[in-house]
Amino acid sequence: MEPEQLIGEIIKANTEEVYKDSAQPSVRVIGKSLAQCVSLFTTPVGRMAEIFETNIHRYIDKLDGLKEEELVAPDTRVLVPILEKMRFTDQEKVADYYAEILATASKKEHE
């Protein structure tokens, strides 16, 4: 069974129980959060690659004009979580924030 089909079956199996309690506000919030998480798993790999490429270009554009000696490798405590978020963040404003954080961490003056 394909991963997308498996996720679909899990959602389908749990849908009835979730909707029985949908009148409760806390369940609605959890349902929305779950839907967002599930959408990340079902996002086609090609789309994720496209989003990531766009976001990496945002980051590179923010480093434009800097000399090589002005740049450093960002601390992995910043680099890893930001790159992970950049894989699927397609909201322009949020993606720009991530690119800015990563660009700042890449500048020697902020080391």
- Tens of pLDDT, residues 35-62: 555 555 555 767 788 888 899 999 989 8
Average pLDDT over residues 23-43: 52
Number of domains in the chain: 2
DSSP 19: H
Token look-up 């079956």 returns 9
35-58 residues labelled b (16+ CB within 10 A) or e (exposed): eeeeeeeeeeeeeeeebbeebeeb
DSSP 76: H
Q: Could you list the residue range(s) of the whole structural domain that residue 1 is in?
A: 1-42
Task: Please indicate, yes or no, whether residues 38 and 88 belong to a single structural domain of this protein.
Answer: no
Task: Please indicate, yes or no, whether residues 51 and 73 belong to a single structural domain of this protein.
Answer: yes
Task: Please indicate, yes or no, whether residues 36 and 78 belong to a single structural domain of this protein.
Answer: no
Task: Please indicate, yes or no, whether residues 58 and 109 belong to a single structural domain of this protein.
Answer: yes
Total Cβ atoms within 10 A of residue 64:
7
CA atoms within 13 A on the CB side of 104: 8
**Global confidence as pTM:** 0.59
